[in-house]
Structure 1
Amino acid sequence: MRTEKQKKRKKKFARKLGLTFVTLLTIFVGLVGYMYWQYRDGVEQAKSETSIQQEEYVFDGNEDINGNTNVLLLGSDTRGEKQARSDTIMIAQYNPNTGKPKLVSIMRDSYVDIPGHGKNKINTAFSLGGPDLLRKTIKENFGIELQYYAIIDFQGFEKMIDVAFPDGVEIEVEKQMSEKIGVTINPGLQRLDGEHLLGYVRFRQDKIGDFGRVERQQQAIQAIKDQLISLDGVTKLPKLVGAVTPFVNTDIGTTDTLFIGKDVLTGGASTIETLRIPVDNGYTNERYSGAGAVLDLDFEKNSTAIQEFLSK
């Protein structure tokens, strides 16, 4: 008698367990389907806005010794040349244990040793050998491993912002800007579309020149992160990734992009930690034949700073 009741209870429990599993599986499949639909919707929307041709690069990247993911972020100013220089050079780091994002900006006039090509400005490495030569240059001069790369040109940046943020990106503009950026940006809290945000991150016609531009680039990335969070970015992330994909040349897979993006948006860090290379008192202004005006680095000071920053 007791055995019969035990059998019935086991069958009832097995049915409930089976129904629970089927329900969870259905929800999971539905969620994956919705995310894929959102991603494809973003891709199709962006494709209608871009004619940018993607170039495939060889990139022999390696994982950071501490298990972090370091991505070489490049802004490329083509201006019609066959081989463009990298106008913006950054290292974005993602810590898989904490989800904490970090950002290092390397100023384009930094005077470094480019493997196989002698000494020159660091942005010359991209025009000579693409992102992989730039990866080797950063490894040789600063001892930092880079696992992936992501490149966006100015045309792509402008259109990407308009597709991903149709209402603009909110920025606190510190001064009026207009010289050599093609637009006029007024001071104060502004919502900048792609054209004006591009002008904001390119502006350098003031006393601090490229140093101010690097700071504004870091501010713009923080503002984009903040807006993603305020827009319930996790649920919108698949569509946003789809929207920016046609504008970005990268070797990071879509799944990894979604995973990293989710962790960065939902992680405990509200701000992106930033560093600029060269650091204060870590360079002198020099002029060399074949390179022009450069930032001559104190490599011991700058290498120590970047390694300590990325290893914390």
Structure 2
Amino acid sequence: MKKGENDKKKGLPVWALVILCVAAALLVTIAAGYGYIQSKLGKINRTQDQTALSPEEEYFETGETLEESLDTISQEDVEWDSDAYTFSREDVTNILLIGQDSSDEEERTRSDSMIIVSVNKKKGKVALTSLMRDMYVQIPGYSDNRLNAAYAFGGMELLDETIEKNFAIDIDGNIEVNFDGFEAVIDAVGGVDIELNSAEVSHLNKKHSTWHLKVGMNHLDGEKALEYARIRKVGDGDFERTDRQRRVLTAVFDEMKNISITRLIALADELFPLLTTDMDNGEIIRLGINVLSMDLDTLETYRIPCDDAYDEVRVFARDGTAMDVLIPDLDLNRSYFYQNIYINP
């Protein structure tokens, strides 16, 4: 017998069989885990093709007056800073959270709240930046209008384009929740702890006679947290309102940190059907991995327009509608976002 014939008839060594079996088991486990995650993420609603409003159908809303007496300006006389380079880096992901003032999935109204969640993987931080809905901005393809009109006219896509044109911020994805969903999210995590001042307590208890809230720390369920987040006629109007929204999101984050993995998985079945996104499952998984890899204790919070970077005025639209709005200084607000999200530690 020639040398090597016996070797050819031998099977694989035991160690090689063990490695193959372990590898096969790992592949099966990974595939099963991947399939499980995909099934969970499949519960999230996906955006459908939405017909944009034609420019001829655009409209303007008076809204609420910011002050009794404001300087007035016509729409044609508003001057804008030139377009700027859009901020974009691979280690920073910007997700826009959109709160819609509607329970009807078929109806697209103006976005009631807009908060950019910025995940900076390199610096290991997550920041929330509120965009005030009464900012007067340039809307691509339409007349200048309030920021929240962009969503009503063209959905997530137009809102993202509007944010990029005015503030040079690249939005990587969008997540929308209506107010019914907001309440459910709060209830699902067991409520949130919020500190209320005397004016907030007086407003909420007067509106709801059966509530007995007190000055100081209160544990709010979904209904109470929503009412708190929507307060506008207490304090400094919409400025404090956006601050309350960030406080509620931060409180939800604090509650989520203390929930077990088992409970978080169960919450997915409750919460995911309440959300709508334009992100695919791969993008959501990558975002989740980035956030879970961070040792987060707190969330940073910001607001656009920032202090001393806007004018409160009354703008008369081309149809004569008077709109009390905030005209942002685009260059100052672009710099503010860039410094806090991309530069500062």
TM-score past 0.5 threshold: yes
Who is 2:15 aligned against?
Answer: 13
Tell me the amino acid that sits aligned with residue 309 of structure 1.
Answer: N
Are 2:256 and 1:228 equivalent residues in the alignment? yes
- Distance in 1 (CA, whole Å) between partners of 2:223 and 2:293 is 29
Tell me what 1:178 maps to.
204
Look up the match of 2:93: 69
Tell me by how many angstroms 1:23 deviates. 4.7
Give the residue type in structure 2 aligned to 1:257: I
Counterpart for residue 69 of structure 2: none
Given that 2:192 and 2:251 are in contact with CA atoms closer than 8 Å, whether structure 1 keeps it comes out as yes
Deviation at 1:178, TM superposition (A): 1.1
Q: Does the 8 Å contact 2:88/2:169 carry over to 1?
A: no
Unaligned 5+ segments in structure 2 are: 1-5, 52-85
Aligned length: 293
Task: Determine which structure has greater relative contact order: mean sequence separation of CA pairs < 8 Å that are 6+ residues apart, divided by chain length.
Answer: 2
How far did residue 31 of structure 1 move? 4.5
Output the aligned Cα RMSD. Answer: 3.5
| In structure 2, distance between residues paired with 1:106 and 1:78 | 19
Determine if the alignment matches structure 1 residue 191 to structure 2 residue 214. Answer: no
| Matching residue's letter, 2:95 | V
Matches within 5 A, 1:196-215: 196-215=224-243
Give 1:65 deviation, angstroms.
Answer: 2.4
Matched, 1:90 2:121: no
Alignment pair present for 1:147 and 2:147: no
Distance 1:207 1:194 in 2: 22
Residue in structure 2 matched with residue 50 of structure 1 by the alignment: none
How many percent identity over aligned positions? 33
> Contact 1:181–1:203 at 8 Å: present in 2 too?
no
Kept after mapping to 2: 8 A contact 1:161/1:168 = yes
Q: 1:36 to 1:303 in 2, by over 3 A?
A: closer
Higher helix share: 1
Give distance in 1, aligned partners of 2:149 and 2:197: 31
1:281 positional shift: 0.8
Normalised TM-score (structure 2): 0.72
Q: Which has the larger radius of gyration?
A: 2
Moved >4 Å (runs of 4+):
29-37, 79-83, 96-99, 179-185
Distance in 2 (alpha carbons) for counterparts of 1:268 and 1:210: 32
Shift of the 181–220 alpha-carbon distance from structure 1 to 2, 3 Å rule, reads: farther
Post-superposition offset of 1:205: 2.3
Output aligned runs, 1:205-284, within 5 Å.
205-233=233-261, 235-284=262-311
Structure 1 residues 111-133: Cα deviation after superposition (integer angstroms, max 9, x where no partner): 11122222221111112222222
Q: Contact between 1:158 and 1:194, CA under 8 Å: does it hold in 2?
A: yes
Instruction: Label 1:69 to 1:57 Cα distance change in 2 as closer, same or farther (>3 A).
Output: farther
Aligned residues of 1:64 and 1:144 also touching (Cα < 8 A)? yes
TM-score w.r.t. structure 1 length? 0.79
CA contact (8 A) 1:170 1:192 kept: yes
Q: 1:35 touches 1:238 (CA, 8 Å); kept in 2? A: no
What letter matches 1:143 in structure 2? A
How big is the shift at 1:253?
A: 2.6
The letter of the residue matching 1:139 is E
Q: 1:78 aligns with which of 88, 102, 115?
A: 102
